[in-house]
Structure formats: C-alpha cells, structure tokens
C-alpha cells in the first residue's frame, strides 16, 4: 500500500491507498456502467493499457484520477478509499426525446439593424427550464452585421426562456456559426431528431468541456451543469460575440 500524497500527487491529507482495492473499484464502476476498458480510456484521454494496469493494481500514480472518477460517475474519494456514496451527483443528460414541450415564437427582425437582410432565421426557441430551439425551416431574414459580411454558415435565432439569463434574455437575437467552439464559448447544441422528419432540438448553453463521448455544458438560471451524448448531437454551433458581429 502507498501513501496518497507521494504516489497520487494530490495535496490532500496523507492517507493510505490500497492500490489493488482501488483497481477493483475502478473495474466495478466500469462494469456497472457497461463501459469497456477501451471506452473508459478514450473518455479520459489514456491508452487502454493504462486502464488495464490500474484495474490490476499496478499503478501507484494515476495521473487522470479526476477524469476517471468523472467518467465513472463517482468521486475520487470513493475510488481511492471507498469513502462517501458510490454514485456521484451527475449533470442531467439532455436527450432528443426529452419531455420539453414547444412554445413557438413568431420570428421578427431585430438588432443589429445594419447590413442587408441576408441571414436566415432557421429556428425559433422553446421556453422552459431547458430552453431549446427547433432548427427547422427558414422563419425570416435578418440583417447581416458588418463583422460577418463575408462569413459562411451563419444563421440566427431568437431567445426565449430564462435558462441563460442574464447573459441572454428572452427576445434577444443571436447569430450562430457552424464552427468548432472552445471551452467558455456560448454554443447551440443541435441534436439529431427523435424521429425521421421531426425538426431537431437545439439548446443554448455555455461549453465547459468536450470529451470523446460527451459534451459538458452549463447554464446560468438556475446555475447547473448539463450533459449531451455526442452520438446524439448533430451539430455544435458557436454563438458569435458582439465584437465579431460588429467587426
């Protein structure tokens, strides 16, 4: 057995860690989630051999401990010492067939009142605690700000609901672009439709982290984390900033 602060490199109080028991708990959580060693390795950015070594009790310094605990939906304390509950509080997973009901708002032209009306309003937003958009047919054309005069793959949406207040308020016009965002960017996560022919839902959130299996986001009102399964995400749009719009 090893001293925690020496072999795990984390500044908690010194405490003995049984590497074999730690490995068994990793394997147990992985099995409960029906996750392969390869899938866990991909989710945390490791090689599969690293997961094998951890589960065999051969690793004295797992560098991705926090990521492993998050992927296994547990805590570092439970993995290391079986302290506290096994199941960690996890963000809700938003699915294409979720319970939200749509509230369609008539699209109208809004700020910024510059440029030519050439940007398509491709959807209308839906209110509620998990406000989403239906990315459907063209609802309107709004004016193109000077900063995106020549930008491609840009569409516009109107915000309803309050889940992203005070950053975005109901009735506000936002411009989004089909380009890869970075953590900290505001995004619209467009899901695959639940059924063929249905308009896809899209959610306005702030991007926290991209993993091979999930898109982790947060909202502001109420403040909480939310999660999307990447296999159910059709497209990830980046919300353009005021500086980008005005040039």
Q: Strand ranges (DSSP E) for 127-241?
A: 132-143, 154-158, 173-177, 186-191, 201-210, 214-220, 223-229, 233-239
pLDDT tens per residue, range 59-81 = 866 778 878 887 888 888 899 89
SS3 string of 121-155? EEEEEECCCCCEEEEEEEEEEEECCHHHCCCCCEE
Q: Pick the closest to residue 97 from 29, 194, 178 (CA basis).
A: 194
Element (H, E) at 119: strand 117-126
Look at residue 101 in the predicted model and tell me its pLDDT: 38
Q: Determine the average pLDDT of the residues in 123-147.
A: 61
pLDDT tens per residue, range 78-96 = 998 998 888 877 676 776 6
pLDDT tens per residue, range 170-216 = 888 888 898 899 999 999 888 888 888 777 788 888 998 888 888 98
Confidence class for position 26, pLDDT limits 50, 70, 90: very high
pTM (predicted TM-score):
0.58
Confidence class for position 116, pLDDT limits 50, 70, 90: low
């Amino acid at each position: 057995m090893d001293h925690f602060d020496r072999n795990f490199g984390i500044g908690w109080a010194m405490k003995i860690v049984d590497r074999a028991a730690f490995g068994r708990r990793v394997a147990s959580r992985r099995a409960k989630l029906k996750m392969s060693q390869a899938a866990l390795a991909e989710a945390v950015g490791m090689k599969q051999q690293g997961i094998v070594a951890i589960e065999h009790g051969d690793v004295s310094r797992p560098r991705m401990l926090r990521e492993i605990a998050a992927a296994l939906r547990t805590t570092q304390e439970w993995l290391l010492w079986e302290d506290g509950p096994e199941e960690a509080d996890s963000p809700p997973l938003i699915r294409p067939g979720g319970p939200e009901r749509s509230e369609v708002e008539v699209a109208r032209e809004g700020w910024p009142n510059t440029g030519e009306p050439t940007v398509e309003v491709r959807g209308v937003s839906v209110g509620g605690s998990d406000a989403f958009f239906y990315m459907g047919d063209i609802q309107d054309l709004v004016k193109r700000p000077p900063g995106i005069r020549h930008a491609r793959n840009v569409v516009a949406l109107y915000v309803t609901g309050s889940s992203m207040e005070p950053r975005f308020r109901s009735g506000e016009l936002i411009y989004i672009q089909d380009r890869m965002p970075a953590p900290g960017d505001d995004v619209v996560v467009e899901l695959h439709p639940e059924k063929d022919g249905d308009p896809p839902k899209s959610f306005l959130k702030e991007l926290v982290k991209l993993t091979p299996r999930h898109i982790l986001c947060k909202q502001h009102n109420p403040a909480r984390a939310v999660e999307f399964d990447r296999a159910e995400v059709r497209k990830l749009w980046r919300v353009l900033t005021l500086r980008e719009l005005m040039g």
